[in-house]
Structure 1
Amino acid sequence: MPTPAPPRTPPRLWDISPTVAPDAPIFPGDEPYSLRWTARLSPDCPVNLSAITMSPHVGAHADAPLHYANDAPAIADVPLDTYLGRCRVIHAIGAAPLVTVAHLQHAEQDLPPRVLVRCCERADTVWNPAFTAYAPEAIEWLAARGVKLVGIDTPSVDPADSKALSSHQQLRRLDLRVLENLVLDDVPEGDYELIALPLKLQGACASPVRAILRELQ
């Protein structure tokens, strides 16, 4: 009898989504997460039911092009394929105030279509207006190498005080997708499978995602 093959070890998963909670850091003036109960288990009720209110930009999220252009698609109308597939995590820890091309060049070879940049030693758990963003030139450089989705472990690809939103406008011009507010604290630099599907929210400017990375096998 042939020796049976040993069972395959399931690929490792990294949850790169922060917890969505009332104290989650948000842009000043944005709608925080709130939960209320509309029904509770009792002799007269067989279930617990809750209702939530929140900005779709709380926690890990995908911006829709509508977020930065009035005539652009809402999140329910954005194709899903970009949010699923091979990606590279690039470390640019300490980069400030912007991730530049120089922070990315060491990981340039054979870039997959998705790139997530880790800027933070530990992702912020309180609002920090001095967070690191992308230089618009870095987004253009990535797009020129076939990248279709960029991500970052801070609240935005543009600085908190930006009015021009130059990096978001680069995303629009180059037809790239974006993930923001990721948690990459424990993720080594390298290649993974990204799974970060947005919800089909009609008319919305963004959607929360449960973003994960899966070990390649």
Structure 2
Amino acid sequence: MTKWIDITQPLTNDMAHWPGDTPFSFAISATKEQTGSANVGKLTTSVHMGTHVDAAYHFDNDGGTIDQLSVDIYIGKAKVIDVSSYDTISASVLESYDLEGVQRLLLHTSLPNNPKSFPKQLPILDPSIAPYLQLKGIFLLGVDMPSVDPVDSKTLDTHHALEKHGVHILENLMLDHVAFGEYELIALPLKIVGADGSPVRAVIRPLKGGDGHE
């Protein structure tokens, strides 16, 4: 049986967080000795920590919240492609890849997977990718970066362009250990009513031979 590959950032108390956002913290709030029956943990976190999905409400007050999104978006066939040789990923870049029949696209960029350090700069995802992805029938875009927009962006042009063209966003994937190709993807968000996003446990399983590892 082909094994699932975990492409999720581990949630740890020393992981990097978006500047100004709520850091992740896990602690045991009550021990088995204290309760007499069980250890009980508690979380404090932004919903955008680690591997996560954005709901439109994250950047649009009129956008949908995470509990309103279909789980079908985040389960199914996906393709991982290597765009690590490009500083800017545009529609013309994506045109050089075979994306026929792809509905979920995961981009391996030049940004190394390092959850302990928040990057000062990210590879650029040009908003022009949004209409192209829609044209190809792609409705989920996953990236191995904390955002589809630059760290200092206030307009979030690529977020808005993707939403306008029906493309959902999955961020902070761990793809350095993954071979490029076709997979089955599961990356389910929590059903947090009214939330602008959610952490996910993202896993992939190769569809065409190989074990999926580099």
Q: Compute the displacement of 1:104 (Å).
A: 2.1
- After TM superposition, the runs of 4+ consecutive aligned structure 1 residues lying more than 4 A away are none
> Is the counterpart of residue 105 in structure 1 residue 105 in structure 2?
no
Distance 1:86 1:20, change over 3 A: same
Q: Is the 8 A contact 1:88 1:111 kept in 2?
A: no
**Structure number, greater radius of gyration:** 1
Task: Tell me which residue corresponds to 1:202.
Answer: 193
Residue by residue over 1:96-132, the C-alpha shift from the partner in whole angstroms, topping out at 9 and shown as x without a partner, is 2x32224323323424100010003631330112022
Question: What is the distance in 2 between the residues matched to 1:57 and 1:111?
Answer: 29
2:113 corresponds to which of 123, 144, 148: 123
Aligned positions, number: 207
> Is the counterpart of residue 35 in structure 1 residue 26 in structure 2?
yes
Question: What is the distance in 1 between the residues matched to 2:93 and 2:207?
Answer: 24
Question: What is the distance in 1 between the residues matched to 2:28 and 2:35?
Answer: 15
Q: Compute the displacement of 1:23 (Å).
A: 2.1
Residue by residue over 1:50-80, the C-alpha shift from the partner in whole angstroms, topping out at 9 and shown as x without a partner, is 1111001000000011001101111011111
Structure 1 regions of 5+ residues with no counterpart? 1-9
Fraction of identical pairs, as percent: 35
1:142 corresponds to which of 107, 124, 133: 133
Question: What is the distance in 1 between the residues matched to 2:185 and 2:54?
Answer: 16
Q: Report the 3-state secondary structure (helix = DSSP H, G, I; strand = E; otherwise coil) of the residue aligned with 1:151.
A: strand
How does the TM-score come out when normalised to structure 1? Answer: 0.90
Within 5 Å, which residues of 2 pair with 1:15-34? Answer: 15-34=6-25
> Is the counterpart of residue 184 in structure 1 residue 175 in structure 2?
yes
Question: What is the distance in 2 between the residues matched to 1:140 and 1:183?
Answer: 26
Task: Tell me which residue corresponds to 1:170.
Answer: 161
Task: Tell me which residue corresponds to 2:64.
Answer: 73
Question: What is the distance in 1 between the residues matched to 2:93 and 2:28?
Answer: 46
- CA RMSD of superposed structures (Å): 1.5
Question: What is the distance in 1 between the residues matched to 2:165 and 2:8?
Answer: 26
Residue by residue over 1:122-170, the C-alpha shift from the partner in whole angstroms, topping out at 9 and shown as x without a partner, is 3133011202241111122111110000010011000111111111001
How does the TM-score come out when normalised to structure 2? Answer: 0.91
Distance 1:169 1:45, change over 3 A: same
Q: Is the 8 A contact 1:120 1:185 kept in 2?
A: no
